[in-house]
Amino acid sequence: MQVLIIEDDKEIAAHVRVGLEKQGHNVLLVHDGREGAVRAKDGNFDLIILDRMLPSLDGVRALAEMRRAGVGAPVLILTARGSIEDRVMGLQAGADDYLVKPFALAELLARVEALGRRPRVPDHGGISVAGSIRLDRLNRRVTRGGRDIPLHPREFQILDALMCNVGHPVTRTMLLKTIWQFDFDPGTKLVESHLSRLRAKLDSGFEISAIETVRGEGYRIRGDA
């Protein structure tokens, strides 16, 4: 993969770079938030590793700028801040994953691998449409029939995965891998419970269910929903 690292701590950045290159990835390293945002917009990266606190432009603002410019690459935020509020702020700005410092390189590499397995979808201004459902990745907004549908982050991620595969079923295993980074079945109703809540929110006030279960295959967003 082509990976962009935006990290001002040169020791951490070099450590991560060496680990990624040993895994066969091509890495570009910058130490400044403003420069990182420019490189992200000009390049074609498969993954961006972004520090939270950066000179000239902090990570959250840099990420928001990237998403507004249509950068669709998965973003993993590194931060010394581990509060719920800080994580939510990063996710709302468009982050795909969060790792709190200090971290083990093995965990970072595992998260990079998991993010790399997510399907890359052409980014049409960050918008996906299926029937009356419209998903706006840049603003983290979902509407159906023009009506706002507030979703929790996991529900948004599940819908995003389904919207990326309109017309094709998404398996339970795929959702466990892409949303929760599980390479095994936890033996719980994790996927089913989140899907049930997502369905209830999407279908309230509508006659046609937005998500259908394809027996033996998985779940599919309806193109005529």
| pLDDT top residue among 83 and 116 | 116
User: What pLDDT band is residue 82 in, cutting at 50, 70 and 90?
Assistant: low
Mean pLDDT over the full length of the chain: 86
Stated length of the chain: 225
The proportion of the chain whose per-residue pLDDT surpasses 70, expressed as a percent, equals 93
Q: Is the pLDDT of residue 33 over 60?
A: yes
Q: Which long-range contacts (CB under 8 A, 24 or more apart) does 28-35 make?
A: 28/2, 28/3, 28/4, 29/5, 30/4, 30/5, 30/6, 31/6, 31/7, 31/55, 32/6, 32/8, 32/56, 32/57, 33/6, 33/57, 33/58, 33/59, 33/61, 33/62, 34/62, 35/6
- What was the pLDDT predicted at 220? 92
CATH of residue 34's domain is 3.40.50.2300
- What was the pLDDT predicted at 47? 92
- What was the pLDDT predicted at 122? 47
Q: Is the pLDDT of residue 93 over 90?
A: no
Q: Is 12 exposed, middle or buried (0-12, 13-18, 19+ CB in 10 A)?
A: middle
**What would the mean pLDDT of 149-166 be, rounded to a whole number?**
88
Same domain, 137 and 173: yes
Residue 211: strand pairing partners: 221
Same domain, 12 and 92: yes
Same domain, 7 and 109: yes
Same domain, 141 and 185: yes
Nearest residue to 191 via CA among 206, 207, 180 = 180
pLDDT digits (tens, 9 = 90+) for 114-142: 887 765 544 545 788 888 899 988 788 99
Same domain, 143 and 96: no
